[in-house]
Structure 1
Amino acid sequence: MIKPAYFFVILLLALTRPAVAQQQTRLNTGWEFVRQDLGGVWEAVRPVTAGNPESVPLWEPVSLPHCFNARDAADPDVNYYQGPGWYRTQLSITNPYANGRTLLHFEGAGQKTRVFIYTTEVGSHVGGYDEWTVDITQAVADFQKTDAFKTQFKGKVPLSIRCDNSRDLEMMPSDLSDFNVYGGLYRYLNLRYEPAVSLERLAAKAEVDPAGKLGLLTLKGVFREPLPAGSAQVSVRLLDSRGQLVAKSQASITIKSGELDLGSFKVKTPRRWSPEHPDLYTVEVVVTAADQRFEQTEKVGFRNIEFVEHGPFLLNGQRLLLRGTHRHEDHAGVAAAMTEPQIRQEMRLMKSMGVNFIRLGHYQQSRIVLNLCDSLGIVVWEEIPWCRGGLGGEVYQAQGRRMLTNMVQQHYNHPAVIIWGLGNENDWPGDFPEFDKEKIRTYMKSLNDLAHQLDPARYTAIRRCDFCKDIPDVYSPSIWAGWYRGIYTDYKQVTEQEFKSVKRFLHVEWGGDSHAGRHSENPDNALAKITHGQGADERAGDASLFGGSARVSKDGDWSESYLCNLVDWHLKEQETMPWLSGTAYWPFKDFSTPVRPDNPIPYMNQKGVVERDFTPKEAFYVFQSYWTTAPMVHIYGHSWPVRWGAAGEQKMVKVYSNAAEVELFVNGKSQGVKKRDSQDFPAAGLRWLVQLNEGENTFLAVARQGKTTVQDQITQRYQTAQWGKPAKLILTKTGEANGLATIEVKLLDAQGVPCLDAVNWVRFGLVGDGVLLDDLGTSSGSRKVQAYNGRAIIRVLTNKLHSVASVASEGMETVFLSL
């Protein structure tokens, strides 16, 4: 039992202690959605009476994040939806602060958004990729006084949100872009309670000299308006990566508009941030006013960056070869609405491939991505979505300036960010009747000046706009050796020429498409058609699969085998270019695009080294073999069930590994030990010519690095029978687990011999009680797809009931399979 005196002390402490820190809740559940426009917000909130239960339109329950285009972005038969959609829910508002604020914090919504409390519009935003906040405090207070609050909504507050991704020439990004301009609440939406005095923005600038002897942390803040009169107590603590207190301060400041100094600290020999050691310090800021307490915590990193003029990139005074890739906000089954666990899985997969650099293309991305880049040690180029199309009018240009400002201010504290990107392929006309290079240059200069004004410490960059390459700090030209132009052995020569033409050079976007599961015994055949010395720049029409000059992107086989050779050559050459700052492969993962309907998976850009569902392609392991240190080994061909050739013919078996030596066993017999040499192309010398048995063959690779041994094993069949033109289809079920059946079609010639190089289009169908798992944008998740080595698979959710699957291909009889 508490004695009266103690009870009085506890009560006194409770009354005098500032209120708890602000609260935030993700609004993930309890939503309804309709993919069309309404006559007005009243249609989202009007009551449905007992005598008149009809409600048009019909709403569907959804959870956030949610994208309009979760499936139709990869539907082979339709254009993806571009238009308005509505979301609605009801909120229980219990703000703990007297005179506090109730806010809706959007981490991103596409592309134009309007927000309503009951029938009152409380905010709007244009731009699908930056964060923004709507203050709903007064609208909630007003609605809580109405009869509708008490009767119709039973004490809850109706929230309705209209998102719109309609085509609009006066908006960024252009609809000519090689990615979908998605719609919806595809990033997290948060309900926040804040005290009357709070920070809208906290800028933490962490600097250190190249030698790492002295660090300086400078803090500035902006109070959220409208501002109450008076002063506030601001206390700051700086903790190192082990949680130890490094410095602290406390001051009283007058509450006023604009950016205010909140303190600065000198830190002797700070632990420096790098990809190998991404040490992060924690900044804790507490603002106390009128017995209410606001807290904000930020992570910062001390690092020194320098792009040497006509030279490499230095991090903390030492050369760092930037080994990079790209990320689009896109995933199978959800499109842009990736959850935090999915984003974490993706970024960790990149890190496991050996990535230390990423370009976020072509728009500012979720804070979750930036936080992971900080903690995993991945250096970042982030850019605004001024992508293709030319230059619009003042509304268009104002959006670009606004998005650049938001991007820099919102991601200013992230040590991973080294470059602010100003644009991409701005030499690509089409959206406007006028294409004026001087006007584009003038606007580019204004963006460059604005970026340096907002953040003098970081670099600016653009990719592929040669008539503007002198404006930003860093320039990346178009170099697609071996894909859109030239052959991949031209890569080093072309790159060195481009390097000499600019002050600071960084090569982003290189690579090629590959149809997952398609392999080739002679992948480089298409190179014989290419005219040597034609350059390596991408030009108008090069992405087309029809017409124009010979190029691998049109005339190649789109096999994983060719992509591995292309990647292998690029990586081995990059090791011999001491002046190179770095590169970024385009992209990490296959993604949906409206401008590629004729690709082997319709509407998919297939240049990723993993599929749209995270399934690694073979090229993933080529990167690992060059970029990682943890011992790994991978035999080429895990998704290649049947090889082919003549009886007794020697076939090349390639192994990708970062180990010093590898021994290969075929059918239990050693084929000898090979030592790794990165300059011995292909596969860094880890290749063997062996005779395969007709039928099944087993392969075992044993890699040794010092006392560490790792191994990999696969089984492949070898076919010597020759085949003719595909003449018939067979459809079989190859497996079933947990109600998920896998079905496979094979293309055979008239004698029943599998056609292992067939690339015919096939179309799957299903009737009955099951569900065909299509529109996923993967080689095994599309109902219309090109065959890979005379086969294709898809999966069916059977629901443990009866269905009939079908597969059709032009010129052959449709076949059926009962499930």
Structure 2
Amino acid sequence: MKKHTVICFWLLLLLSFLGHPAAAQQSTRLTDGWEFVRQDLGSVWEAVRPVVAGNPESVPLWTPVTLPHCFNARDAVDPDVNYYQGPGWYRTQLAIQNPYANGRTLLHFEGAGQKTRVFIYSTEVGGHVGGYDEWTVDITQAVAEFQKTEAFKTQFKGKIPLSIRCDNSRDLEMMPSDLSDFNVYGGLYRYLNLRYEPAVSLERVAVKAEVDKAGKQGQLTVKGDFREPFASGNAQVSVRLLDPRGKQAAKSQVSLSLKSGELELGSFKMKAPRLWSPERPDLYTVQVTVTTDGQTFQQTEKVGFRHIEFVEHGPFLLNGQRLLLRGTHRHEDHAGVAAAMTEPQIRQEMRLMKQMGINFIRLGHYQQSRIVLNLCDSLGITVWEEIPWCRGGLGGEAYQSQGLRMLTNMIQQHYNHPAVLIWGLGNENDWPGDFPEFDKEKIRTYMKSLNNLAHQLDPARYTAIRRCDFCKDIPDVYSPSIWAGWYRGIYTDYKEVSEQEFKSVKRFLHVEWGGDSHAGRHSENPDNALAKISRGQGADERAGDASLFGGSARVSKDGDWSESYLCNLVDWHLKEQETMPWLSGAAYWPFKDFSTPVRPDNPIPYMNQKGVVERDLTPKEAFYVFQSYWTTAPMVHIYGHSWPVRWGDAGEKKMVKVYSNAAEVELFVNGQSQGVKRRNSQDFPAAGLRWLVALREGENTFRAVARQGKATVQDQITQRYQTAKWSKPAKLTLEKTGETNGVATLEVKMLDAQGVPCLDAANWVRFGLIGGGQLLDDLGTSSSSRKVQAYNGRAIIRVQTNGLRSVASVASEGLEIAFLNL
């Protein structure tokens, strides 16, 4: 045996005798070794029967999957079917090796949709209603009983069969409403953990970190609940507080008698603690260690000291200073996996938000993964988190009990996160339709019960709702519906409407504004639709406004859904927010395009396309508008990276826009300087960084050089300029434009009868493929949908060739189908 191996062996043995924290409870993510079937079973027996009976012909057929996993990874954006809502089953076999004498074996669910039942062999051991809060099932006794059976020893060869039934069937007496503008997903779409704990452990640790407005005096209080049942006796509890550098700041130790209810575990006074903020998200570490009968349980929590205040009829203050909340929203939804985002995917998304410059996020419209909240803490992103009481009015006793339970779980499970400012009680609860009765007084009564519960559980944070005017006096903070320039009015109405709404409530915060854009679609005249809009009609969203048909003129129906228009809308809102000293903040809806069952007619069917990045996190042009206002690291971006061909008359001057946070930018077109412009946020559009340039027929190169002090950054693009005029589309062409790592990119173009590209064509196209390849569709992006509206007379799709021959096709109504051999 090698020397270092001997040393490691004796060190681990010594630590086990000392009860070192390294020997504390163990937790393992159960990601591999699962099978899944998307249908119901006759009973749980059908999940275990193949092993017990040894029947290779057993049906149904199960598919190997990895967790997290969602029923609706692809069908949520399938243009030809409704997404699946019903039961599905998962099964695996566990090797249980609990190292603790008389310890507990637990299954900890970070979220599963929407109703879940859990079985060990044929015994139901627990379940949960609600798709977004965390919950735990103690399987200790069921495991012990199954280990005594002959099946454990023979058929399962020492493994424990675990079966889980998830169900996202439509249910009016369950939150969230199926009228909601997002999919109610099914599956084990968040992580599932196998946990071993000693006989005495803590079910919850609640840390209250308080500091005065000046930041000079702090108080830290640590409380906890012992997991029941437990034997009588005492436990030694130690609490260590580590500062953001990892240095011990305080320590306490106490002997506590084991009993039910919340107990104080430790308390410390702090002088001038380091404060948490978006600029410096300093986090302290609280380590709680419980020792009984030689066994050790340890739990670690990250906390932050900060003082928050939403000033009545005024702005938001963090640590006594005004902070304009610059925000966005997040749905747990991603291309190819739907709700089943892995931790690396979540990290990538949250970091991209921070790179855009946000300091605030509303988590819509449900409690989200603990991974998200941890990242908000560490990245410095303040949070409004809410329960899924979304649309639909008010259900019965089971419905209302679920809302109260989910609010309790959300607050208790995310209590320690310094990022959280607001507990959201509901969204669009003025939206009738789920129930025959729509009683405003009953809704008010229930809203009051939620508000009272939130303040009882957490007196230090604020409550809020969005868009329910007859309840706006109940929560601490209210957000009305203001969609200037999209559902109602024009975007220059934004400031005036916001001021009117600000004066009507005690504390105003504007969440949800923006507009849809079809990625890759651009316009030479993006504001054209505004001429059709009547002034003075307000800026709220009303019933039917999201429809693409009927009703009064509105940009959401009559606009071109171009990235060009959205950039102008965003640009105007951001410049105005800089001149509103009373504004607490605003949050753009949403950060990323997401799937929805109520928008089948959108340019990408079943996608809400209001994101500033696509569903796969590809940035749209509007992302860089936000960066130019909200970030400090030097950046520059020429508008039009996804706009290959512009059009106009020969010699016509075209506007070239550059988005940058630098003091000055110089633009070069085809190697010639067009002069230097200085940035002025109030000079709309593009903060004055715009040039009128005569482009030449064919290829043009653009280079922008931004200077901020000694720092210089550059951006460059190439675009073609077309002066030839076109008539209506008459034919399609389909060609392969590239191939990387076995993935070919195909592009369809629409041409008129003379072969001129139709650069404003928005016709529907449908891609197809036969042969050995695979169409990469049903991902919910403009380049991964087999049915999609063209963007500037073109559209692309990708094909996994698999090294085999295939024939691709593309069709559009009234035009001859085009084919391509691959």
Cα deviation, residue 640, structure 1: 0.1
How far residue 16 of structure 1 moved from its aligned partner, in angstroms, is 6.2
Letter in 2 for 1:439: K
Give the match for residue 689 of structure 1: 692
Q: How many residues align?
A: 815
The 8 Å contact of residues 51 and 155 in structure 2, kept in 1 or not, is answered as no
Is the contact between residue 18 and residue 288 of structure 1 (CA under 8 Å) also seen in structure 2?
Answer: no
Q: Which amino acid aligns with 1:122?
A: V
**Is 2:543 aligned against 1:525?**
no
Structure 2 equivalent of residue 608 of structure 1: 611
**Cα distance change on mapping 1:276 and 1:761 into 2, 3 Å:** same
Query: Do structure 1's residue 572 and structure 2's residue 568 form an aligned pair?
Result: no
What do residues 480-531 of structure 1 show as CA deviations (whole Å, max 9, x unaligned)?
A: 0000000000000000000000000000000000000000000000000000
Q: Give 1:163-174 correspondences, 5 Å limit.
A: 163-174=166-177
Provide closer, same or farther for how the CA distance between residues 478 and 49 of structure 1 changes in structure 2, counting only shifts above 3 A. Answer: closer
Pair 1:281-2:284 in alignment: yes
Aligned to 1:621: 624
Are 1:150 and 2:150 counterparts?
Answer: no
How much has 1:533 moved relative to structure 2? 1.1
Could you tell me how far apart the structure 2 residues matched to 1:252 and 1:97 are? 22
Aligned to 1:800: 803
Shift of 1:12: 9.2
The C-alpha deviation readout for 1:243-291, integer Å capped at 9, x for no partner, is: 0110000000000000001111011100000000000000000000111
Using the TM superposition, give the Cα deviation of residue 14 of structure 1 relative to its aligned residue in structure 2, in angstroms.
Answer: 5.7
Letter in 1 for 2:409: N
- In 2, Cα distance between equivalents of 1:460 and 1:50: 55
Local SS of the residue matching 1:99: coil
8 A Cα contact 1:18 1:292, kept in partner: no
| Aligned counterparts of 2:362 and 2:480: Cα–Cα separation in 1 | 15
Q: Cα offset for 1:51?
A: 8.0
Offset at residue 47 of structure 1 (A): 3.1
How do residues 613-652 of structure 1 correspond to structure 2 at under 5 angstroms?
Answer: 613-652=616-655
Query: Is the alpha carbon distance of 1:779 and 1:8 closer, same or farther for their aligned partners in structure 2, counting shifts above 3 Å?
Result: closer
TM-score, length basis structure 1: 0.98
Q: Matches of 2:150 and 2:603 in 1, distance apart?
A: 58
**Match for 2:268: what amino acid?**
F
**Equivalent AA in structure 2 for residue 452 of structure 1:** H
Q: Output one character per residue of 1:633-678: Cα deviation in whole Å (capped at 9) or x when no partner.
A: 0000000000000000000000000000000000000000000000
**Preserved contact between residue 238 and residue 282 of structure 1 (Cα < 8 Å):** yes
Q: Which amino acid aligns with 2:470?
A: F
Aligned to 1:512: 515
Asked if 1:176 is matched to 2:176, the reply is no
Question: Residues 732-781 of structure 1, C-alpha deviation per residue, up to 9 Å, x if partnerless?
Answer: 00000110000000000000000000000000000000000000000000
Relative to 1, partners in 2 of residues 1:48 and 1:412: Cα closer, same or farther, differing over 3 Å?
A: closer
- Tell me which of 431, 435, 439 is aligned to 1:432: 435
Among 593, 598, 612, the residue aligned to 1:595 = 598
Question: Secondary structure of 2:431's match?
Answer: strand
Deviation of 1:62 (Å): 0.1
SS at match of 2:401: helix
Indicate if the aligned counterparts of 1:635 and 1:656 stay in contact, CA closer than 8 A: yes
- Residues 746 and 395 of structure 1: is their aligned pair in 2 closer, same or farther, counting only changes over 3 Å? same
Counterpart position of 2:786: 783
Which amino acid in structure 2 is aligned with residue 339 of structure 1? T
Give the letter for the 2:497 counterpart: V
Q: What amino acid maps onto 2:545 in structure 1?
A: D
One-letter amino acid matched to 1:374 = D
Partner of residue 95 from structure 1, selected from 95, 98, 111: 98
Counterpart in the other structure of 1:252? 255
Give the alignment partner of residue 76 of structure 1, picking from 67, 79, 87: 79
> Helix, strand or coil for the counterpart of 2:161?
strand
Separation (CA, whole Å) in 2 of partners of 1:639 and 1:671: 22
Q: State the match for 1:749 in structure 2.
A: 752
Aligned residues of 1:381 and 1:417 also touching (Cα < 8 A): yes
Tell me how far 1:572 sits from its aligned partner: 0.1
- For 2:151 and 2:364, locate their aligned partners in 1 and report how far apart those are by CA, in whole Å: 46
Q: Aligned to 1:61, what secondary structure does the other structure show?
A: strand
The equivalent of 2:559 in structure 1 is 556
State the match for 1:679 in structure 2. Answer: 682
| Residue 451 (1) aligns with residue 454 (2) | yes
Superposition deviation, residue 182 in structure 1: 0.1
In the other structure, the counterpart of 1:470 is 473
1:264 alignment counterpart: 267
Distance 2:324 2:200 in 1: 45
Letter in 1 for 2:482: I
The answer on 1:316 being equivalent to 2:319 is yes
Name the SS of the counterpart of 2:344 in structure 1: helix
The separation in 2 between residues aligned to 1:327 and 1:554, in whole angstroms, is: 24
Call closer, same or farther: CA 1:120–1:310 in 2, change over 3 Å: same
Q: Does structure 2 conserve the Cα–Cα contact (< 8 Å) formed by 1:635 and 1:713?
A: yes
Check the 8 A contact 1:656/1:686 in 2, yes or no: yes
Give the match for residue 655 of structure 1. Answer: 658
Mapped partners of 1:10, 1:774: distance in 2 = 51
Corresponding residue to 1:216 among 209, 214, 219: 219
Partner of 2:815: 812
User: 1:48, 1:54 within 8 Å by CA — same for their partners in 2?
Assistant: no
Answer yes or no: is 1:356 the counterpart of 2:359: yes
Structure-2 change in CA distance of 1:9 and 1:324 (3 Å): closer
The 1-side partners of 2:557 and 2:133 are apart by 37
Aligned to 2:545: 542
Identical-pair percentage: 87
Match of 2:246 in 1: 243
Could you say what secondary structure the match of 1:47 adopts?
helix
Matched, 1:32 2:31: no
Q: 1:139 to 1:647 in 2, by over 3 A?
A: same
Unaligned stretches of 5+ in structure 2?
Answer: 4-8
- For the residue of structure 2 that corresponds to 1:46, the secondary structure is helix
Residue 10 of structure 1: how far off its partner (Å): 11
Query: Of the candidates 502, 505, 514, which is equivalent to residue 505 of structure 2?
Result: 502
* 8 Å contact from structure 1 (residues 766, 805) kept in 2: yes
1-structure distance, mates of 2:328, 2:537 = 26
Q: In 1, distance between residues paired with 2:799 and 2:10?
A: 67
> Per-residue deviation at 1:8?
13
* Distance in 2 between residues matched to 1:134 and 1:8, nearest whole Å: 36
Q: Per the alignment, in what secondary structure is the counterpart of residue 536 of structure 1?
A: coil
The Cα of 1:53 is off from its aligned counterpart by: 2.3
CA–CA distance in 2 between the matches of 1:60 and 1:265? 53
User: 1:354 & 1:8 partners in 2: Cα distance?
Assistant: 50
**1:55 partner letter:** S
* 1:693-725: CA deviation from partner (whole Å, max 9, x where unpaired): 000000000000001000000000000000001
CA distance in 1 between partners of 2:146 and 2:537 (Å): 68
CA contact (8 A) 2:447 2:471 kept: yes
Q: Are the counterparts in 2 of residues 768 and 804 from structure 1 also a CA contact under 8 Å? A: yes
- 1:119 equivalent to 2:122? Answer yes
Give, in whole Å, the separation in 2 of the partners of 1:53 and 1:74.
Answer: 35
User: What is the match of residue 400 of structure 1?
Assistant: 403
Assess if the C-alpha contact under 8 Å between 1:108 and 1:131 holds in 2.
Answer: yes
SS at match of 1:496: helix
Shift of 1:17: 4.1
Residue of 764, 767, 779 corresponding to 1:764: 767
User: How far off is 1:198 after superposition?
Assistant: 0.2
Paired with 2:13 and 2:252, the residues of 1 have a C-alpha distance of 29
Give the Å deviation of 1:184: 0.1
Backbone CA RMSD of aligned residues: 1.5
Contact 2:593 2:613 in 1 (8 A): yes
**Structure 1 gap ranges (5+):** none
Give the 3-state SS of the residue equivalent to 2:430 in structure 1: strand
Cα deviations across residues 301-354 of structure 1 (Å, max 9, x unaligned)? 000000000000000000000000000000000000000000000000000000
Q: Which amino acid aligns with 1:366?
A: S
The residue aligned with 1:371 is 374
Decide whether the 8 Å contact of 1:331 with 1:613 is kept in 2. Answer: yes
Q: Tell me, in whole angstroms, the C-alpha distance in 1 between the residues paired with 2:255 and 2:95.
A: 36
Partner of 1:415: 418
CA distance in 1, matches of 2:120, 2:17: 34
